[in-house]
Chain A
Amino acid sequence: MTPADSAPAVTPGVSRIDVPVLARVEGEGELHIRTRGGRIVDLKLSIPEPPRLFEGFLRGRHFMEVPDITARICGICPIAYQMSSIHALERALGVEAHPSIRLLRRLFYCGEWIESHVLHIFFLHLPDFLGCQDAFEVAAKNADAVRMALRLKKLGNGIVRVMGGREIHPVSACVGGFYRVPRKEELEALVPELEWALAASLQAVSLTASLEFPDFEQDYEFVALSHPDEYALNEGRIVSNRGLNVDAAEFEEHIVEQHVRHSNALHSVIRERGSYMVGPLARFNLNYAQLTEKARRAAEQARLKPPVRNPFRSIVARAVETVFACEEALRLIAAYEPPPLPRVEARPRPATGAAATEAPRGLLYHRYSVDENGLITEARIVPPTAQNLRRMEEDLWSYVPGLLGLDSAQIAWRAEMAVRNYDPCISCATHFLKLRREDG
């Protein structure tokens, strides 16, 4: 896409609003709205991002290569892809990771949540609320806030780097554990900056809570992992506020995907019920009681109480989860004792395993089949953005009619803002999976 075709185009008569390049999202999306007589007649969130066919080329690769490959689906949340694939393969191969490995994986995930949430809050979403085009414009008005965000994001990346060597596509995580585990002192060195980050993230909650939110609520089915003992990150059952409660192995019995013409990403729906929402708001609403005390208190002060049904408030939920991730990281570092071995050996056997983890933008499902030589025979990946796509479109169908009195540029901008509530990661969403169809 080049700038020549990127400015919002309006056909005379204000019947058509096109946003050919959705900005401040990861990957390429387009939005098309058509109205007639003050009513919407068509609305499409198109995903022209080219398909990359990961499920195709994962076939025939060895299971130890999988976490390195799936990381390449997304530069913003590579750890989520590594973790979901590792858990699914460990379930297939019957590998039980050491409790210290489990702790490290949770810490790894906290680093990614901090980095990704802060990027989205301050760089991708906040500019909308302040009427700015980007964070550089925000910095011209409030340099301190942007500097604070950069330092917070750096800390999140710092956690990932200590464990994985680099922030994008880290190289340490593998089936069975890690190639190398950090020494206790390496993690302890992060503590002073984490303590600063905890205080800074509390400020981020007050800052985001003070924004003006459009008066807009929807009746969502929220879906997230839920674990009996902790705010779920890597493990748990898949639950919803409408009674879904299943193991990851049953995901495909309840959630089906539909292929629509205008999108290179598939749309997910809950069988016989329709769209649903995954991500910070779903986790916050379903697992609120398991947030750390500081995170819960920050939410209370921000008047964010479950059930939150205004999707624009997801920016506050992200800030609350950042508080949680900082506090949890401090707890995990204090509790860490290096395991006797960095990893346990996984032996190949013909088997299938599925798992889901909570990527920053929501539930991420993977399933793999492996043969007796450890080669992948089938792979399926359902990213959070694909699960949210149908719901994003439905939000727009409900939200845009209230905006039709505005000029086209304003409508386009507000509709984009509503899409960004979901922190869509379009690069993630175009790597799909074999589809089970219900229609003929």
Chain B
Amino acid sequence: MSSDGRKPRIAVFKFASCDGCQLSLLDAEDELLAVAGAVEIAYFPEASRRMEKGPYDIALVEGSITTHHDAEAIQRIRRQAKTLVTIGACATAGGIQALRNWHDTAEWVRLVYAKPDFISTLKTSTPVAEHVPVDFELRGCPINKHQLLELISATLAGRRPNIPTYSLCIECKRRGNICVMVAAGTPCLGPVTQAGCGALCPSMRRGCYGCFGPMENANAPSLASQFRVLGSSRDEVERAFRSYNGWAWPFRKVFEEAPKP
């Protein structure tokens, strides 16, 4: 509750994405009614027909920016939001649709649509932070609903959310898994990926595919060399780093020079 006694106002926005990250809020089945009681859900079209105007205390933004319309809309949202938080890989790293950034988007549009001139889309899919200042980025494809609840309560309490920035390997060790890369030679993005999923893939004896994106200070080029030692071809390494968070710079730099300022 803010000092004037009103409930904090939350808004949820969506751009190019699968809806999975905002669904995480509805999937918080045990806590959902408590959250709905503690805040005013002012704008959340996936869940409600009520669509109140800003300003909002927290704007949760899902999805990447892929159209002119969305590039303008994110500016309006930023102006109306006290705290702007991106949720998920699309909003924080451009998402799977950022694969277009390395290709000819116009060709893909022609491939998919009979009348490409009906389609208006940018050549790129970019994270929200490339367009407006972002207060916090919640990682994951999809995000972890417990982290989302922590983020909402921390923001309302005016403190920094307690969300780990260390690597997935720490979670994996805590689960007592045998390392798939050391024991089975399976390429695994765990060493450069931020924790948060509970090391799901290595727990199923497959390599992590990086859906939580790069951890803090990730040394992705070094891991890429290790993949080559394990026998991966250059193309395989490229595909491993170019997936749900491929446009995030720590993963991009495996194949690219730093852009000139």
Contacts and interface: CB of A to CB of B under 8 A. Distances in A.
Interface stretch (A57-65, A225-233, A273-281, A313-321): A57-65
Contacts of A139: 33, 36
A26 interface: yes
Chain A interface category by residue count? 35 or more
Chain B interface category by residue count? 35 or more
A264 interface: yes
Given A4-B76, A72-B96, A51 B29 contact: no
B49 A264 contact: no
Nearest to B70: A50
Contacts of B30: 150, 154
A22 B13 CA distance: 13
B18 interface: yes
A327 interface: no
A270 interface: no
B46 A179 contact: no
B41 A65 contact: no
A197 B121 CA distance: 44
A203 interface: no
A65 B47 contact: no
B19 A427 contact: yes
A150 B29 contact: yes
Contacts of B95: 72
B36 A172 contact: no
Contacts of B244: 72
Interface stretch (B97-105, B155-163, B215-223): B97-105
A27 B114 contact: no
Interface in A257-283: 257-261, 264, 266
B228 interface: no
B49 A3 contact: no
Interface stretch (A93-101, A162-170, A344-352): A162-170
A260 B113 CA distance: 10
A338 B206 CA distance: 19
B23 A76 contact: yes
A122 to B, nearest CB: 10
B182 interface: no
Contacts of A165: 197-198, 200-201, 203-204
Among B13, B29, B41, B53, residue most surrounded by chain A Cβ atoms (within 10 Å): B29
Closest 9 CB pairs of A and B: A75-B20, A56-B108, A134-B48, A180-B204, A165-B200, A57-B99, A259-B114, A23-B49, A435-B114
